[in-house]
Amino acid sequence: MADPVTSDRRTLYPAIEPYRSGMLEVGDGHSLYWELCGNPAGKPVVFLHGGPGGGSGPDHRRQFDPERYNILVFDQRGCGRSTPYASLEANTTWDLVADIERLREMVGVERWMVFGGSWGSTLSLAYAETHPERVTALVLRGIFLMGRLELDWLYRRGASEIYPDKWEDFVGLIPEEERDDLVAAYQRRLTSDDPLVRVEAAKAWSRWEAETVTLLPSDEVVNHFTSDDVAVAIARIENHYMIRGGWLEEGQLLRDVGRLRHIPAVIVQGRHDSCTPPAAAWALHKAWPEAELNIVPDGGHLFNEPGILDGLIRATDALADRI
């Protein structure tokens, strides 16, 4: 892969609109928003957004050549345009894995490429390890394996050493006597019967994440993460997953990666990612040496940072020729 610093960087494909969209009832009272974009006869790919609870946006569909790909984008349970909003009921990793299979059957394809970043990389691995026969290729960004060390990095000690001022704001909402377990302390507030308490906690939780995901400070990202229609879903659903370790056994995704080693894969990881640090991407690559690892030297966490985006577009272009 070309050096992302010295070469001309690739960027998003032109804006496109879905050629089909709708809602899919998946049971348990949940209905998922989905859309299909690009070429109906193209190579099928499913895009898995981050969070959990982050939802999808128009730029996500632009990471693929619309002439060569048939692109499914959807909002996972409880977020984006899916309903019920911010619901925690019947909302687990394995519910989402089952939803991806329902969507594949709805589209009518036997196999497809799986593309996911951040939490989307976690879900991509969980899905692919469960259904390797359904996966033609994987593109993964900002690897998050839902391990204890990764959770401690974000919510005990790690990122707090890089952003001590922002960390002080994050812990400031929680009384001293509850700070030994911030995830549990926030859960109590995010599930409070008082909507004002829920919103205050959601904005603090989401702001902390927003501060860690960009290489340089971005008011635009912080404002998006802390807006009323985004913060509550991100905070409630993320917290719900993290306090339970994503319903994964410790080390499970690395343990089971042998099921994927025959599948073409590209990992794009920012060297300076303070949300999902490169150690997880490196561990995944060590367990899966056949996967191409592109560590972007001037990259943070978000998909639309120049070096990260360059790596992702190059990956989807290259895999369009291979699968």
Q: How far apart, in whole angstroms, are the C-alpha atoms of residue 302 and residue 168? A: 23
In the block, tokens 């995901």 appear at 213
Helix spans in 14-134 (H): 93-107, 119-130
**8 A C-beta contact, residue 295 and residue 119:** no
| Token duo for residue 131 | 């259904």
Give the total residue count for the chain: 323
Active site residue 181: no
Strand order of the sheet with strand 30-38? 20-27, 30-38, 69-74, 43-48, 112-117, 135-141, 265-270, 292-296
Query: From the candidates 75, 124, 301, 310, which is the catalytic residue?
Result: 301
State how far the alpha carbon of 184 is from the alpha carbons of 180, 187, 242, 311, in Å: 9, 5, 10, 36
- 118, 121, 160, 206: the catalytic one is 118
CA distance 261 to 155: 32
Pairing of strands 69-74, 135-141: unpaired
Annotation says 87 is catalytic: no
Residue type, 205: W
Annotated active-site residue 118? The verdict is yes
- Note whether 69 and 45 are within 8 A (CB): yes
- Catalogue the E-assigned strands of the chain: 20-27, 30-38, 43-48, 69-74, 112-117, 135-141, 265-270, 292-296
| Active-site residue identified among 240, 273, 274, 310 | 273
Partners of 112 in the β-ladder: 135
The residue type of 141 is R
What count of other Cβ atoms lies within 10 Å of the Cβ of residue 157?
Answer: 10
Phi, psi angle pair for 88, to nearest 5°: -100, -10
Catalytic residues, which ones?
A: 118, 273, 301
